[in-house]
Amino acid sequence: MSDPQAASTEARASVDHPIRPAAVELKNVTKIYGQGTPREYVAISDVTLTIPDIADHGEISSFLGPSGCGKSTVLRLVAGLEPQHPPTSGTVTVLGREIVGPGADRGMVFQDYTSFDNRTVLDNVVFGLECRGVSRQERESEGLEWIAKVGLDPRRDRAKYPHELSGGMRQRVAIARTLILRPRVILMDEPFGALDPATRLDMQDLLVKLWREVQATVLFVTHSVEEAVYLGDRVFVMATTPGRIAEEIRMPAAAGPARGVQSEPWFHEQVNAIHARIEQVEAAAKHKNGVSHQI
């Protein structure tokens, strides 16, 4: 005979512990730099967010917000990089596991070119495989495959050094050396921020193409509302002093190349709506801080 009490406990348990843990989850995360010193600073306060792990798909989440609102702090906490990691309070989990440091399940692409100056394109791209002890032959064939996937020429570009590459080419190398390791979560901190507008659109197209292939969860920090709307399945709008999530907005999936989509009317409407929302958030923060200064 079935036990109704046991059945209801089981039902509750399955709600409390969904079978598929979130790709990324922050619960009440606060980060105070220099705690207990005269330079103590609350960078982010009580940040809670959940990015689901969607089977065979993955999502791109954009993070928008004024300089200093804690975007890099959030990304580096997820990456497990010091001094952002560990949080002062709260928990950061990736695929159900609490972060204890950097790990192979996460890869990061920064705005600053992070390739090794003394390594060729190929040696930069396969660096992580080398660290993992993959044989030279295997890593070379995979490396050349990834050089082609990011739109570089395996024959012409493999032996170039970073100083021989344009900004866009360097970011292609950075993307290849991160994705070759097949991280489930990709953390991108203003990766296209230093590129000219045309190259930036090309890189957005490249990211969408590769993201479809690797089906990873992407956290993407940008200053560009257009970029956030085009790439994001959801957009987190952050506010400052202290850094926090002001709003989470779901976005329709952008179907098609960046240049086409970004000239469509619905796209401009979304961008304008988010600009308006950011202005509201910033005005509210100014008002609040102004009032608190007067007290």
Ligand X SMILES: Nc1ncnc2c1ncn2[C@@H]1O[C@H](COP(=O)(O)OP(=O)(O)O)[C@@H](O)[C@H]1O
Which chain residues interact with ligand X by CB under 6 A?
Answer: 33-34, 41, 43, 65, 67-73, 83, 243
Beta strand 185-189 pairing with 24-33: unpaired
**Complex with ligand X: residue 193 or 257, whichever CB lies closer:** 193
Residue for token pair 């979130």: 22
Determine the residue type at 176: A
d(CA 31, CA 24): 17
Q: Which is nearer to Mg ion, 75 or 144 (CB)?
A: 75
Instruction: Mark 231-270 with x for binding to Mg ion (rule: CB under 5 A) and - for no binding.
Output: ----------------------------------------
DSSP string, 38-92: TT-EEEEEEEEEEE---TTT--EEEEE--TTSSHHHHHHHHHT-TTTPSPSEEEE
DSSP 172-201: HHHHHHHHTT--SEEEEESTTTTS-HHHHH
**Residue 243 binds which entry of ligand X, Mg ion, none, CB below 5-8 Å type-dependent:** ligand X
43 binds, among Mg ion, ligand X, none (CB under 5 to 8 A by kind): ligand X
Closer Cβ to ligand X, 61 or 124, answer by number: 61
CB of 273 to Mg ion, least distance (A): 24
Alpha helices in 150-256 (DSSP H): 154-157, 167-179, 197-214, 225-231
Q: Which is nearer to ligand X, 127 or 220 (CB)?
A: 220
Least distance (Å) between residue 88 CB and ligand X: 12
As measured in angstroms, the least distance from the Cβ of 227 to Mg ion is 15
Nearer to Mg ion, 61 or 72 (CB): 72
The amino acid sitting at 177 is: R
Tell the smallest beta-carbon distance from residue 76 to ligand X (Å). Answer: 8
* Residue with Cβ nearer ligand X (175 or 239): 239
Q: How far apart are the C-alpha atoms of 214 and 74, rounded to whole Å?
A: 23
Stretch of 49-57, 71-79, 123-131, 166-174 contacting Mg ion, by CB under 5 A = 71-79
Least distance (Å) between residue 141 CB and Mg ion: 36
Cα–Cα–Cα angle for 176, 79, 249, rounded to 5 degrees: 90
**Near Mg ion by CB under 5 A: residue from 45, 61, 62, 72:** 72
* Residue 191 tokens, joined: 């990766």
Interface residues toward Mg ion, by CB under 5 A? 72
